[in-house]
């Protein structure tokens, strides 16, 4: 038996003794000895400890996802929403802004698409005539939802089909936020809903393209997020919560 095998046998013996009832104190002494006498830089980078750490993070993230979506009523969406939330939470703990934004955006996209396709678009021909009452001069030109979301009037024979083509991700988000978060009140335009969408959309695209910028606007958004990541994470989760809460309260 060589020296390594002898040491492994000693470790097995110590483990067996420490696992016996009444000897639980031995583990505390072992951990304390490791903390005081060992090279922590080597221990911190050990694959086993990293795996344990990541498993604990995932357990906490799953708990957060359950709490975040506990009142969400669309069962078919929950598995994917929770899965993306866990990945988002994990990315935040790792400090990955791009990955965080991607998984945050996926949740927004899933909720928005469901609401838009199921509840809004089928009745758009009726709702598009909803009258707006803006006090500020900038928006006084818009009198209905139709003119607000599509300033350029569509005179085609089948306007509904044309609008289907023009429904960008941002427009879908805006109309969903308008109807379901603020219940059609003008305060919608004062609670930074579109800013939230623009932030996660641009950060998500930046991360997906491996850190390259598509525009100066996107570069500015990334720089602001990098300057204060904590604020970016907080605002993004708050925006996502507003969307989820707005849907729950419908």
At 187-204, the pLDDT tens digits run: 444 445 667 888 899 999
CA distance 215 to 198: 13
Higher pLDDT, 47 or 40: 47
Quick check: 150 and 159 in contact, CB under 8 A? no
Q: Are 58 and 24 in the same domain?
A: no
Q: What per-residue confidence (pLDDT) applies to 184?
A: 46
Do 26 and 138 belong to one domain? no
Task: Specify whether 115 is located in the same domain as 204.
Answer: yes
Please give the residue range of the domain that contains residue 50: 41-248
Token code pair at residue 53: 């750490």
Q: Do residue 33 and residue 47 come from a single domain?
A: no
What is the model's pLDDT at position 85? 96
Residues 24 and 73 in one domain: no
pTM score over 0.75:
no
- Tell me: do 21 and 68 sit in the same domain: no
Report pLDDT for 26: 75
Instruction: Please give the residue that has the higher pLDDT: either 12 or 46.
Output: 12
**Which one, of 169, 178, 224, lies nearest residue 199 by Cα?**
224
Provide the number of structural domains found in the chain: 2
Query: 90 and 75, same structural domain?
Result: yes
The answer on 119 and 26 residing in a single domain is: no
Residue 95 sits in the same domain as residue 214: yes
The answer on 106 and 14 residing in a single domain is no
Same domain, 165 and 204: yes
The predicted structure's pLDDT at residue 16: 79
Assess contact for 172 and 113: CB atoms under 8 A: yes
Sequential DSSP letters for 67-104: HHTTT---TTTHHHHHHHHHHHHHHHHHT-HHHHHHHH
Question: Are residues 142 and 66 located together in one domain of the fold?
Answer: yes
Whole-number CA gyration radius for the chain: 26
């Amino acid at each position: 038996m060589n020296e390594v095998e002898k040491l492994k046998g000693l470790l097995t013996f110590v483990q067996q003794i420490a696992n016996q009832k009444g000897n639980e104190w031995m583990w505390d002494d072992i951990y304390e000895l490791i903390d005081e006498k060992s090279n922590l830089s080597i221990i911190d980078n050990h694959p086993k400890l990293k795996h344990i750490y990541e498993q604990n993070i995932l357990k906490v993230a799953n708990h957060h996802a359950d709490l975040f979506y506990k009142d969400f009523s669309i069962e078919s969406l929950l598995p994917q929403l929770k899965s993306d939330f866990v990945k988002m939470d994990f990315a935040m703990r790792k400090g990955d802004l791009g990955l965080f934004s991607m998984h945050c955006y996926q949740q927004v996209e899933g909720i928005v698409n469901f609401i838009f396709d199921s509840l809004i678009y089928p009745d758009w021909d009726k709702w598009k005539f909803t009258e707006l009452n803006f006090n500020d001069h900038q928006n006084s030109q818009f009198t209905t939802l139709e003119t607000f979301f599509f300033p350029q009037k569509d005179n085609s024979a089948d306007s509904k089909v044309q609008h289907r083509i023009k429904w960008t991700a941002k427009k879908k988000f805006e109309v969903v936020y308008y109807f379901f978060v603020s219940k059609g009140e003008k305060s919608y335009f004062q609670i930074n809903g579109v800013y939230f969408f623009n932030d996660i959309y641009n950060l998500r695209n930046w991360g997906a393209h491996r850190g390259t910028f598509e525009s100066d606007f996107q570069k500015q958004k990334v720089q602001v997020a990098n300057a204060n990541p904590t604020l970016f994470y907080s605002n993004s989760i708050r925006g996502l919560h507003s969307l989820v809460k707005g849907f729950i309260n419908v």
